[in-house]
Structure 1
Amino acid sequence: MSRPLPVAGRRPVAARELLAVSADGSRIHVEIHGQEGAPAVVLSHGWTCNTSFWDAQIRDLAVDHRVIAYDQRGHGTSPVAARDGYSTDALADDLEAVLAATLAPGEKAVLAGHSMGGMTIMSASRRPELREHTAAVLLCSTGSSRLLAESLVVPMRAGAVRTRLTRAILGARAPLGPVTPVSRRILKYGTMGAGSAPDRVETCARIVHACPRIPRVAWGNVLAELDLDEGVRELRVPTAIIAGTEDRLTPPVHARALAAALPDCLGLTELAGVGHMTPVEAPETVTAKIRELVTAYLPSGPDRDARGTTDIEGKEEVA
């Protein structure tokens, strides 16, 4: 039986927090959980989410791993970027900054990305920091291109009309407002499996509704034009894939395309009855896959000291 997720307000407490400074000066909020010197795992969340999306993984893995989670720009406590600060290059820049700020030179980590977080890893696949620091990757509920054409959020036949309606949803400027029974039902339909437990639907609704409108719309427009197929072909590290069979946002067709294109694919796990929010809907499976990758590709090494400089508002800022 699935364990309930921690209730709101009872988040894992980070051992340390810092601000990584991205290429354009954007500050990225980073949490580090667990013990220095333990095998490192880096978690990259998806569109409209934040570090709390990974709470189940953090709580489990931090017992014997060093877990690094960060808020994508404009999400969580990472500030909203300038108008031109939203792009796949910005995703890659931010991930590079996080890796440089938290891992010692040459230190390897297992990277896990959900949805836009997986796209972040694909976007950064040719970046020096990613190649230096990545031992293996887990891609959850993600795709590299054709997001609008393949989306099943709008329940109608594939074609130009469905694509236009899906684009309108991704770029919708209306505020989400408070979580209500109606908004929970809408979110569950669009992003989760029909059998998702109410507490997990509530968790996802609370996280998504907390995302500010400006970055939600800006990143939605980026995703509408996404083309990272070349980044997939350049992701030359062992990579596992997890997808839900009821994912309407990034249906399994995307996961199967990734599995066929990746140079070193470790296989695709399709979770029956699970939707788009795999780390919340199937936390044990996602955590177990991360542990499996750590065991196979990240042997324990000497203590790894993160590099930090000036303390700002109780956080280190790392350039």
Structure 2
Amino acid sequence: MDSRSRRRLGIAGAVAGAGVGAAVGVRQAVVGRVRLRPDPDADEPFGELRGRELTVRASDGLPLHVEVDGPDDADLTVVFCHGYTLNQDSWHYQRRDLQGSLRMVFWDQRSHGRSGRSDPVDATIEQTGDDLYAVLKATVRRNRPVILAGHSMGGMSIMALADRHPELFDRQVVGVALINTSCGDLAEMTLGLPLVLAKVVRPLAPRTLRGLGRRAELVERARGLGADLAFVVTRRMAFADKHVSPTVVDFLEQMIRATPIDVIAEFYPALVAHDKAACLEVLGGVPTLVLAGGQDRLTPAEHARRMAEALPDAELVEVEEAGHVLPLEYPGVVTGGLRRLIERVRPRQEEERTA
């Protein structure tokens, strides 16, 4: 393969991962230039927060990596569901700042993080909803109250759970947080491109990703060759804050880079085809927090507004200068919203216990 072909393949791999996975491919040399600015997060122990580990078997037998923080006799559990191409460490700030106040469960979606590698035919939102059901059964005692928090694809997994197990939202799930996510119509995504160009690119994306997935080993080797381009795409696609910590960008890059390109390719069609608008009626029975980034090019804020309008007990928070990774870009907004949601559901639990 000549140098021009390798360069094209590297750029293709970088754009594929960054464009549809929110970010990919930041090199230390590029990040280093940005690090000339003061970085308050430089010493943050990203990826080092760990809980009590257990393995949960999904309905197809796949091992799911799960970690639990907090006492088992806590009055409330929050289960965190991460996004596409990420892993449970994407909840770093929430895990750090909510410790000691409640019980928390974190898990890696199939083929992500330390969970098992899924059969490609099971790379669907319906299956991740079933996986969440298995995690709930294994980590939360029957009828004990739980809040579900989902970012991006994690929010879609919650919707799939609501679609397949609506009874849980009558007896166990007492609150839901939906962050940078959508209930459908993701084929309308422009990825920040002009509308005319987006209409040309959209039908090409699935074919391009499938092609990259079939050449996964080659793409993985070439993935970093477009480092400068990948850095620009990362900042543009994942973040809107011009002063985002370069350490956070680097941390995001490491999570994305750990996700094989064929996994990205396998899940992408399921995201585009995702349609769970009908499940909003189920979610409408519990208090809900909906968080959106005003500059989110992957799940635009308009999707969050539509969901909030359909949910009778929803708090909508839109951060105008934010992109697709609110838990990392504006962690205080996410953690603060979760604290408010917790306070909203706890009085209801007290009333039910004394009734």
Judge same fold: TM > 0.5, yes or no. Answer: yes
Counterpart residue identity of residue 18, structure 1: L
Residue pairs, 1:91-170, within 5 angstroms? 91-126=128-163, 127=165, 128-129=167-168, 131-157=170-196, 160-167=199-206
The answer as to 2:298 corresponding to 1:249 is yes
Change (3 A) 1:277 1:290: same
Change (3 A) 1:9 1:194: closer
More helix by share: 2
The aligned residue for residue 86 of structure 2 is 49
CA distance in 1, matches of 2:125, 2:101: 32
* 1:105 CA displacement: 1.0
Aligned partner (choices 38, 49, 54) of residue 12 of structure 1: 49
Q: Deviations 1:237-288 (Å, cap 9, x if unpaired)?
A: 21110001110001111111111223x3422111021100010001111011
The aligned residue for residue 342 of structure 2 is 294
Q: Deviations 1:45-100 (Å, cap 9, x if unpaired)?
A: 01000011001111111222111010000000001111321212201110100111
* 1:297 CA displacement: 0.4
Larger radius of gyration, structure 1 or 2? 2
Change (3 A) 1:258 1:6: farther
SS in 2 for 1:298: helix
| Identity within the alignment, % | 30
The aligned residue for residue 275 of structure 1 is 323
Change (3 A) 1:85 1:131: farther
More strand by share: 1
The aligned residue for residue 35 of structure 1 is 71
Q: Deviations 1:168-218 (Å, cap 9, x if unpaired)?
A: 576553437359444232222122114223222212111111112232211
The aligned residue for residue 20 of structure 2 is none
The aligned residue for residue 237 of structure 1 is 286
* Native 8 Å contact 1:32 1:69 kept in 2: yes
The answer as to 2:233 corresponding to 1:186 is yes
Aligned partner (choices 108, 114, 119) of residue 77 of structure 1: 114
Change (3 A) 1:37 1:90: same
The aligned residue for residue 207 of structure 1 is 255
CA distance in 1, matches of 2:347, 2:72: 15
Q: Count how many residue pairs are aligned between Structure 1 and Structure 2.
A: 300
Aligned partner (choices 255, 266, 269) of residue 314 of structure 2: 266
CA distance in 1, matches of 2:171, 2:79: 14
Please, which moves more after superposition, 56-65 or 239-248?
Answer: 56-65
Counterpart residue identity of residue 252, structure 1: A
Q: Deviations 1:97-153 (Å, cap 9, x if unpaired)?
A: 011111111101111100000011111114144553311011000011111213334
* 1:13 CA displacement: 2.3
SS in 1 for 2:250: helix
The aligned residue for residue 353 of structure 2 is none
CA distance in 2, matches of 1:270, 1:207: 25
SS in 1 for 2:297: coil
SS in 1 for 2:162: coil
Please, which moves more after superposition, 267-276 or 121-130?
Answer: 121-130
Change (3 A) 1:115 1:97: same
The answer as to 2:262 corresponding to 1:225 is no
Counterpart residue identity of residue 299, structure 2: T
CA distance in 2, matches of 1:214, 1:232: 31
Structure 1 unpaired stretches of 5+: 303-319
Counterpart residue identity of residue 108, structure 2: D
CA distance in 1, matches of 2:197, 2:313: 29
SS in 1 for 2:203: helix
Change (3 A) 1:271 1:185: same
Q: CA RMSD in A?
A: 2.6
* Native 8 Å contact 1:153 1:166 kept in 2: no
Counterpart residue identity of residue 291, structure 2: I
* 1:29 CA displacement: 0.8
CA distance in 2, matches of 1:150, 1:94: 27
Please, which moves more after superposition, 99-108 or 167-176?
Answer: 167-176
CA distance in 2, matches of 1:225, 1:67: 31
